Amino acid sequence: MILIVFAMGGAVFYLYHFGNAPFDQGGSTKKVEFDLLKGMHPREIAQALERQGITSNANAFFWFGKLTGSWAGIKAADYELDPSMAPSLIFKTFRSGIGIQHALLIHEGDNIYQVAQSFMESELPDRKDALKLLTSPEMIQAVGLGDEGIRSLEGYLYPNTYFYDKREASANLMLAQRNWG
């Protein structure tokens, strides 16, 4: 019985130390893009983190999360992690849901070809697909302009810098507004 108590105490101590100490204590600045997909099992996440060099022990990561309740509330996103992050900080990041944000810049006066070029530069659909989107009746209808005989969104896109997660559909990236003058 005493042996079991010592073993349990040792395991708890190890997991506490593991959860609060970074894998790379040398302060590595190597950033890794980690794509946490919706529906991924915690074991899959832990194994992927180990493969990418973010944690040293997938099993310890899994059990640390399990015993601390850290798996609850994690959100799918594309995260930027590094080996100098302690597992407790990784879980905090996963629960925040704040992933890597990419920028799409639409300038005032841009025509649909310039907007399509901005899409390409932002790792969104290629120019051809962006032009299809900007002239698609479904997209025009989705932004509330379908009943007015509009054939493209040129002149209706609000100039701004839009930040997005790679998962977001292109149709949800642009906030089209009417130019009321």
Q: How far is CA 10 from CA 15, 67, 69, 87, in A?
A: 9, 14, 20, 19
What gap in Å lies between CA 31 and CA 33, rounded to an integer?
Answer: 7
**What CATH number is given for 2-96 in this structure?**
3.30.1490.480
Q: Whole-angstrom Cα distance, residue 22 to residue 82?
A: 9
More confident residue, 115 or 43: 43
Q: What is the pLDDT of residue 172?
A: 45
Say which residues have a Cβ less than 8 Å from residue 91's Cβ, sequence separation at least 6.
Answer: 65, 68, 70, 71, 74
Q: What is the pLDDT of residues 21-59, one digit of tens each?
A: 666 655 556 788 888 888 999 999 999 999 998 888 898
Supply the pLDDT for residue 178.
34
Instruction: In the chain, count H helices and then E strands.
Output: 8, 4
- pLDDT band at 72; cut points 50, 70, 90: very high
* 44-78 per-residue burial string, b: 16 or more CB within 10 A, e: under 16: ebbbbbbeeebbbbbebbbbbbeeeebbeebebbb
In this prediction the pTM is 0.60
Higher pLDDT pick, 92 / 15: 92
pLDDT range class, residue 92, cuts 50, 70, 90: very high
Query: How do residues 118-169 score in pLDDT, each as one tens digit?
Result: 777 776 666 777 777 778 787 777 777 766 777 887 777 778 787 766 655 4
Rounded to whole angstroms, the Cα distance separating 164 from 4 reads 50
Domain ranges (residues) in the chain: 2-96, 102-173
